[in-house]
Amino acid sequence: MAIMPGNSSYPSSPTFQPILESIATDIAQTPGRGRPADYIPALAACDPRRFGMAVAELDGTVYGVGDWRQPFSTQSITKVFTLALDLAREGDELWEHVGREPSGNPFNSLVQLEYENGIPRNPFINAGALVVTDRLQTRTGDAARTLLEFLRAESGNADLGFDQDIAASEAANGDRNAALAHFMASYGNIDNPVPDLLDQYFLQCSIAASCADLALATGFLARHGIRADGGRLLSRSQAKQINAIMLTCGTYDAAGDFAYRVGLPGKSGVGGGIIAVVPGRCTLCVWSPGLDERGNSVAGVAALDRFTTLTGLSVF
């Protein structure tokens, strides 16, 4: 059953536009917008005052405000789509290689891997995403290209592509990811050569897309596994699983606070983007490059908090 809005001063439809405009006004007046990710040099120069937000309804209607058509570096947001593509191919076998629990540690932590025998806590920390990318690479021969073609199809934007400068910047500063991959390989939890896997992973994270693109591309999770063309990617149960993991693990070690404030499945990236899902109703993407100390967009979280408050749309 589709989730319906709660009591609110806004109508449930026909348009989200006035809500987005109200949010943008509020965000523009908010001081303290955080700092861009400075450990990836190509992201460090982004202006933290930039802000865009889009909402996509199930039929593909999109509303937006601010820089909602400006491409930005998707980074860890792509982990959601890679997970969906691999889960669709191998099903529950995936969960023998990556867990489904919150980590409680930073997204690039090595701490838990040793005493958990090389099995990452969840697919959204870097170790878990490397495992999922590795498994998709085994099944497709080109995980990054498979992901890109999926995003192009779901967003309707054939111009989406890799940002080679971002990928090169990440590769030049990717020692921690290399360490994670080699460590898991020592436990037999990586199939492909680590250098090849890292190339795929950095390409995956480098994809540039806008809020409109990502809100549309996330729609299959609001449609319970149904793609934009009406075909089924995931079973209803699998879509539920991904939404659940987004809620509990999608915003690094701040997932509890995000669930408390926003009340939606979400996934953030250090490029400043966050996607969110209202199952049965709509999907959202917000972008602002200024991050908090846990790697989540300060303005993005605030905007999503405001959205669920104004509309009453939540999974709770």
Task: Report the catalytic residues.
Answer: 76, 79, 201, 252, 270
Report DSSP letters for the chain, one per residue: ------S-SS-SSS-SHHHHHHHHHHHHT-----B---SSHHHHT--TT--EEEEEETTS-EEEEESTT--EE-GGGHHHHHHHHHHHHHGGGGGGTS--S---S-TT--HHHHHTTT--S-TTSHHHHHHHHHHHHHHHS-HHHHHHHHHHHHHT-TT-B--HHHHHHHHHT-HHHHHHHHHHHHTT---S-HHHHHHHHHHHHH-EE-HHHHHHHTHHHHTTTB-TTS-BSS-HHHHHHHHHHHHHHTTGGGHHHHHHHT-S-EEE-TTSEEEEEETTTEEEEEE---B-TTS-BHHHHHHHHHHHHHH-----
